[in-house]
């Protein structure tokens, strides 16, 4: 068992480097598209979009859970499921009906075992997601959000995932994906430090047309970034769990080896005592006969 868990630890250690690199590489695109949408909405008063509007008439809320396909990851899935349960309880207290959408076989298995209903599932890519997976999930959620309330559409979309902070820290997070909340900002902190200003954008053919094209991409890019964060967190927690399992197995081996040595020594001592006792009895018998 120690050899198996050690191998799992080494595999997770090798994969987490690539997962961290993918998280870093996705950051610039996510920041740039966020800045473009912020500039579009902030500098074009009156521009609207269904994805930016609150829908108080709808009492259904979608909750996307990002879990793993495989186990041996410590409390990774338990933390996500616990945060999701807390979010759903809060939504019910607000008079809304939460609808679960699940990524990962562990989340699907948790719901099936408890015979709970969920709307859709996506599995098979939790430790190595691709952008096509984010596109599929994003389009399905946007389609549900775009439906009228009387046709079963949802008024909110929340995502529960694990954010990768460092190799030692990964935290379960809850984010509202739709409707979007975009804050107006005149200057970014790093640009302010450099004395620069926000770039000026020219939107062609129109701001509304660009918004229609950018918003779905923005949704997919956010889901993509969260999938990458979750994958890196999964590898980090699996590495830590397998290291702990390896250490525990080695401790058990040491304890059992010590117990076996003690039993072996006691057996040898018993045999020596029996031999010495037999030799002494034989010597006494021989001396008495003489």
Contact 177, 219 (CB under 8 A): yes
Residue 187 has pLDDT above 50, yes or no: no
- pLDDT number for residue 244: 86
Average pLDDT over residues 198-224: 78
Average pLDDT, the chain: 84
- pLDDT number for residue 47: 61
Average pLDDT over residues 177-204: 57
Rounded to two decimals, what is the model's pTM?
Answer: 0.79
Average pLDDT over residues 97-114: 95
User: What percentage of the chain exceeds 70 in pLDDT?
Assistant: 88
Residue 209 has pLDDT above 50, yes or no: yes
Among 14-18, 60-64, 252-256, name the one with the lowest average pLDDT: 14-18
Could you give the maximum distance between any two Cα atoms of the chain, in Å? 126
- pLDDT number for residue 112: 95
Nearest-angstrom CA–CA distance, 7 and 16: 14
Neighbours of 142 (CB within 10 A): 18
C-alpha dist (Å) from residue 60 to 112, 216, 252: 21, 21, 51
Give the bridge partners for 126, in sequence order: none
Strands 170-178 and 156-164: antiparallel
Average pLDDT over residues 16-40: 80
- pLDDT number for residue 92: 94
pLDDT tens-place string over residues 231-290: 999 999 998 888 888 888 888 889 999 999 999 999 899 889 888 888 887 777 776 665
Superfamily of domain 2-240: ATP synthase, F1 complex, gamma subunit (3.40.1380.10)
Among 20-24, 93-97, 183-187, name the one with the lowest average pLDDT: 183-187
290 or 175: whose pLDDT is higher? 175
User: How is the chain split into domains, by residue range?
Assistant: 2-240
- pLDDT number for residue 48: 67
């Amino acid at each position: 068992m120690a050899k198996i868990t050690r191998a799992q630890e080494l595999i997770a250690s090798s994969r987490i480097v690539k997962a961290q690199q993918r998280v870093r590489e996705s950051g610039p695109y996510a920041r740039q598209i966020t800045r473009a949408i912020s500039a579009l909405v902030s500098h074009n008063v009156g521009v609207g979009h269904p994805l930016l509007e609150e829908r108080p008439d709808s009492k259904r809320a979608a909750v996307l859970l990002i879990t793993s396909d495989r186990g041996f990851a410590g409390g990774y899935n338990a933390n996500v499921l616990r945060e999701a349960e807390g979010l759903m309880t809060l939504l019910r207290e607000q008079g809304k009906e939460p609808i679960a959408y699940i990524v990962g076989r562990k989340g699907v298995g948790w719901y099936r075992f408890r015979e709970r209903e969920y709307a859709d599932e996506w599995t098979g890519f939790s430790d190595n997601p691709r952008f096509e997976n984010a596109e599929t999930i994003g389009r399905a959620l946007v389609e549900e959000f775009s439906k009228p309330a009387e046709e079963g559409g949802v008024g909110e979309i929340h995502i529960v995932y694990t954010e990768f902070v460092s190799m030692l820290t990964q935290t379960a997070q809850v984010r509202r994906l739709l409707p979007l909340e975009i804050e107006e900002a005149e200057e970014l902190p790093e640009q302010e430090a450099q004395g620069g200003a926000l770039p000026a954008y020219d939107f062609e053919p129109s701001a509304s047309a660009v918004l229609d094209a950018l918003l779905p991409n923005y949704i997919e890019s956010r889901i993509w970034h969260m999938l990458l964060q979750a994958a890196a967190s999964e590898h980090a927690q699996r590495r830590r769990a397998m290291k702990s399992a390896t250490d525990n197995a080695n401790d058990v081996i040491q304890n059992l080896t010590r117990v076996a040595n003690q039993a072996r020594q006691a057996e040898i001592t018993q045999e020596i005592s029996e031999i010495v006792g037999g030799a002494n009895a034989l010597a006494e018998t021989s001396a008495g006969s003489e």
